Every structure is written in structure tokens, then in C-alpha cells.
Amino acid sequence: MSHDTNDRSGGWIGPAIGIGAALGAAAFAYTNTQRKKRDWGDDAPGYTARRGFGEYSVVGRTVTIRKPKSELFAFWRDFTNLPDFMENLEKVAVKGGDRSVWTIKAPAGQSVDVETEIVSEKQEELIAWRSVEDSDIDTEGRVAFEDAPGERGTRVSLIVAYKPPAGDLGRAIAKLFLREPNVQARHDLKRFKMLMETGEIATSARTKDQTRKAKQQQKENA
């Protein structure tokens, strides 16, 4: 039995045919919460595989946060909180149902909207989303929350897959977005951890106009 079938039967990725389920499944296979053997039989998360995922760019990262699952899940599940720690995200508007519109920063002060829908959700454990059929950006992601050993809190694993879009705007976005997707994912998760553990995001700026945010705004206004 292939791991692909396995994963799809796991349910959450089922409707996400638009993104090419075979790829998605391979990449998403075996996160911390889904212990399934891969073809080559080791126990590492799928996204750490040395081989690529075709035309998709796949990013995965795990952090351990010293807070209970319930708290972390609740914060993330309110998508309007995501721009607090996801740097490329300008805002998220929840549309009702399981749909929301994510406004992503694009080069030259532009932005691009992506409509997403929740494709799977398990209270306190998992949230998975994907872009809807006619989106400019083909993406899906999932975040899983799992108790860490002892007093360590919660392991949070984020996996995101994108297919670089076609066209000029697409290429521009890809450049911004996919330049260093791994770095982006790592940084976003670290910011999430900071916000949850300390209530703020660390900065070494001496003055308010030297913070990263202020500098980015200055750049946009210029």
C-alpha cells in the first residue's frame, strides 16, 4: 500500500484535488501526528526528503511552544491573527463558512488576494486549508498541534505547499514568496512561538522607527 493512498484515506487532503494529491500526500505524509512509514522506511517527516516534489515547493517546520495545545490552536484558528506573525500576510478576512480571503503582500506595494477554505479540522489538533479552485495562487497548508513530552508544551508543525503561478503577477509573487520559502516558514513559526511564549515579538531596534515593521512601511511609502 502506498503512502499516498494512506494519506488520502486519512481524510483531510481528500478534496484538495486541485493541487495534485499525489504530490501533496508525499510531502504531507508523516508529520509528527501521522506516524506512517514512507517507502524508504525511515521515520523522518516527509518534507525532509532529499528528493523534490515536482512543480510544487514544499516547506515544513516544527517548533515546540511552552503553551497548551488548546491555546495555540484557538489563536491560529482565528485566521485574522495570522498576520501578527506571518510576515508576507497583510490581512485575513473571514467570509463565513470555512472560507476566508488572505491578502498577501506582493512586490512594489501591491497585494494579491487568495481565497482559501478549510479542508480539515480537528479540535486542538489540526487545521488544514487550501486555495479554492480559481485562485491565482495554488497552495495548501496544514498546521498540527501535538503534546510535547513532559512539561515542554506543544509541538507545532506547519507544512505548506505552493505551485508557482503562471503569468507576470504570478512570477512576481513567486519571487517574493518562494525566494526562500523555508526561511519564511521558519521565521513565521518562530514569531508565532515568541508571541505565544512572551506576548511580543523580539526586536533589537533602539527606536520605534528602526523596527523591521517600521522599515518595511518606510520602504512601501517611499
Q: Work out which of 197, 217, 218, 220 binds another protein, going by CB under 8 A.
A: 197
Q: Counting contacts by CB under 8 A, is residue 146 touching another protein? A: no
Identity of the residue, 96 or 149, whose beta carbon is nearer to another protein in the bound complex = 149
CB of 207 to another protein, least distance (A): 5
Binding mask 154-193 for another protein (x = CB under 8 A): -----------------------------x---x--xx-x
Identity of the residue, 131 or 154, whose beta carbon is nearer to another protein in the bound complex = 154
Instruction: Report yes or no: 165 and 176 within 8 Å, Cβ to Cβ.
Output: no
**Residue 50 grid coordinates:** 532529499
> Which H or E run includes 197?
helix 181-198
Distance CA 60, CA 141 (A): 9
**Residue 99 grid coordinates:** 472560507
Distance CA 81, CA 89 (A): 10
Q: Counting contacts by CB under 8 A, is residue 208 touching another protein? A: yes
Distance CA 63, CA 152 (A): 11
Contact footprint for another protein (CB under 8 A): 64, 66, 151-153, 183, 187, 190-191, 193-194, 197-208, 210-212
